[in-house]
Amino acid sequence: MTRLRQTPHAVPSAAPRALAPSQGRRTPGSPGGRVAAAAVAVVAALTLTACGSDDPLNHPWRPGPAAQEGAAGDGAAPEVEGLTGTVAGAGSSAQEAAMQAWIAGFQSANPDVSVAYDPVGSGGGRTQFVEGGIAYAGSDAPLDEEELAAAQERCAPGAVAELPLYISPIAVMFNLEGVTSLNMSAATIAGIFAREITRWDDPRIAADNPGVALPDLGITPVNRSDESGTTENFTEYLHEAAPDVWTFDPSGNWPLTGGQSAQGTSGVVQTVQDGQGTITYADASRAGTLGTVALGVGEEWVPFSPEAAAAVVDASPRAEGRPEASLVVELDRDTTAPGAYPLVLVSYTLACTAYADAADAELVGAFLSYVASEEGQAAAAQAAGSAPISDALREQVLPVVEAISQEAM
């Protein structure tokens, strides 16, 4: 059950705290943690009223166990407003670290709420969402036509919302002694990973890097050995920005056989660190001491940065023919927009604009507005190294998220 509650704090704090366990408190937490949590809850209450409805008829001001507990943990707060309930999601494992940060941030602000996320993979998340098993999902790819139709049915009478809330720059990183940055066009990168450019002192690399001492050394490209969204986005970038050189179709599975490869982001990064002349693509937050590539975009060289990654999402057009709440971006991989870094992974959060259960609607709405908020995006950036979404994108996302709360009322 979900209610926004506000109660005058009139109860002596010791008694309710002793009672708390028998009152069916849902969220586990130590009494010590509760003090801090309740303090944050006051701040969160303001945020929540901003995005939810504040119609007093639908939010009876009455005392409840949750409010008493909140008050019990915090002797100073005069009154506490809070959400209760459970909401479950599943999907993309790329979002896992960010999602954990969001859940932690949201739950510490709302101690009686329990949000779950099962990183089963994008495909599994989409299936479960369409089947109605979970309230929200994370997916590295937007829904395809078939899934979209099924999802619209599941969300009726509302619509399905696809929100690009997780933007993660992918860096091309290499291990060359004494070289920390190189300029490469998409065609050069494609040539290296297609194994056409095999030596570091190849004229095609040297031409873009005047003044850099390139060693006479073989290039060892390292790819992911497991199926992954990073590979899919990387091959999509090569396919669109350098179609002449990269003749393979975009795929989550590396299209070439042979050569060095490793499991997971840690695996490829470790492999690159272990060998001289190696190069790979991985989540930018993991670059560490490795050299990184500045991509050729238009006439300039753009190194990866959170702002540049967010910029390409802003510069890309919305996908057409989708429901209004579906903010799918067609990433413009061969963009020439100044300062945009086109090699990014955009992962979507799937939700409905209306839920059969009002409690679900309110919780999902509140949770997603936290995710889209500046604090939420900053928490993800810190925990997962993602790029915070731009204010322009936030302005598009927030009305959709707020609509979730209102429609259920």
Partner 1 sequence: MTTEPTTPAAPAPAVRRASTRDRAGRIFAGLSTGAGALILIVLAAVAGFLLLEAWPALTAGAEELTSISWIPDDGSLLTYVGPLIFGTLVAAVLALLLAVPVAIGIALFISHYAPRRLSSALGYVVDLLAAIPSVVYGLWGGLVLAPLVQPVWQWLSETLGWIPLFEGPAATPARVMMTVGVVLAVMILPIITAVSREVFLQTPRLHEEAALALGATRWEMVRMAVIPFGRSGVISASMLGLGRALGETMAVLMILSPGLTYSLALLLAGRQQTIAANIALQFPEASPLGVSALIATGLALFVITLAVNMLARWVVARRADFSGAN
Q: Any contact of residue 257 with partner 1 (CB under 8 A)?
A: yes
Cβ at position 322, least distance to partner 1 in Å: 23
Which x/- pattern, by CB under 8 A, does the window 206-225 give for partner 1?
A: ------------x-x-x--x
Given the rule CB under 8 A, which of 8-16, 19-27, 45-53, 260-268 is the region that contacts partner 1? 260-268
Give the Cα separation of 31 and 203 in Å (integer).
65
Beta partners for 5? 82
| Contact partners, residue 211, CB within 8 Å, separation at least 6 | none
Give the Cα separation of 140 and 302 in Å (integer).
24
Residue in 183, 278, 285, 335 binding partner 1, rule: CB under 8 A: 278
Q: Any contact of residue 100 with partner 1 (CB under 8 A)?
A: no
Cβ at position 129, least distance to partner 1 in Å: 15
Q: Any contact of residue 64 with partner 1 (CB under 8 A)?
A: no
Cβ 186 vs Cβ 381: under 8 Å? no
> Hey, what are 320's tokens?
């057409």
Q: Any contact of residue 121 with partner 1 (CB under 8 A)?
A: yes
**145 vs 320, beta carbon nearer partner 1:** 145
Q: How far is CA 38 from CA 9, 63, 82, 375, in A?
A: 13, 16, 9, 18
E strands along 202-274, which residues?
220-224, 260-262
**84 vs 271, beta carbon nearer partner 1:** 271
Q: Any contact of residue 336 with partner 1 (CB under 8 A)?
A: no
Residue in 263, 288, 298, 391 binding partner 1, rule: CB under 8 A: 263
**92 vs 377, beta carbon nearer partner 1:** 92
**DSSP letters for 168-217:** EEEEEEEE-TT--EEEE-HHHHHHHHTTS--BTT-HHHHTT-TT----S-
Residues at the site binding partner 1, with contacts judged by CB under 8 A: 93, 121-123, 218, 220, 222, 225-228, 251-253, 257-263, 267, 270-271, 274-278
